Amino acid sequence: AYGTVARACNMALGQLREEGLRAALLRPISLFPFPSEAIAAAAARARAVLVVELSAGQMVEDVRAAVGGRCPVYFHGRTGGLMVPAEEVAERVRALAPDWHDLPAPERHEVVNA
């Protein structure tokens, strides 16, 4: 997540960790140049990636390319200028989490500013 939606994702991250779910946030500081190396490094330690955007998915394909098939990439977006609430992000992660149980566990869980 980047920009203002990263705040909602960070709040969701706190909720999910309190529930015992292992999750991390990568927040790009700038999109040019695109942080492909940071995304690839994070994906190497992840079971899956959820891209949250205030758009119809302009960044998700760039993230998929950077992930390079290391793990599944999911998308959650919202258009129309409406903010994505933290609870909505947390619900999306909870809904996806059962699909991740057979994937290898990531080694580290952190907020990464790339």
Domain ranges of the chain: 5-113
**Between the CA of residue 96 and those of 29, 42, 48, 75, 76, what are the distances in Å?**
26, 18, 9, 11, 11
**Token representation of residue 23:** 């999750």
**Between the CA of residue 102 and those of 47, 54, 89, what are the distances in Å?**
9, 30, 22
| pLDDT of res. 1 | 75
The rounded mean pLDDT for the chain is 87
Measured between alpha carbons, how far is 1 from 77 in angstroms, rounded to an integer? 10
| pLDDT of res. 80 | 87
Q: Residue 76: which of 108, 110, 51 has the closest Cα? A: 51
Q: CATH topology for 5-113?
A: Rossmann fold (3.40.50)
Say yes or no to pLDDT of 110 above 70: no
Question: For 49-106, how does the pLDDT look when each residue is reduced to its tens digit (9 = 90+)?
Answer: 999 999 999 999 999 999 999 999 999 999 888 899 999 999 999 998 876 655 555 5
Question: For 27-58, how does the pLDDT look when each residue is reduced to its tens digit (9 = 90+)?
Answer: 998 889 999 999 999 999 898 999 999 999 99
Only one residue has tokens 């999910």, namely 16
| pLDDT of res. 54 | 93
**Token representation of residue 51:** 């891209």
| pLDDT of res. 81 | 85
| pLDDT of res. 3 | 84
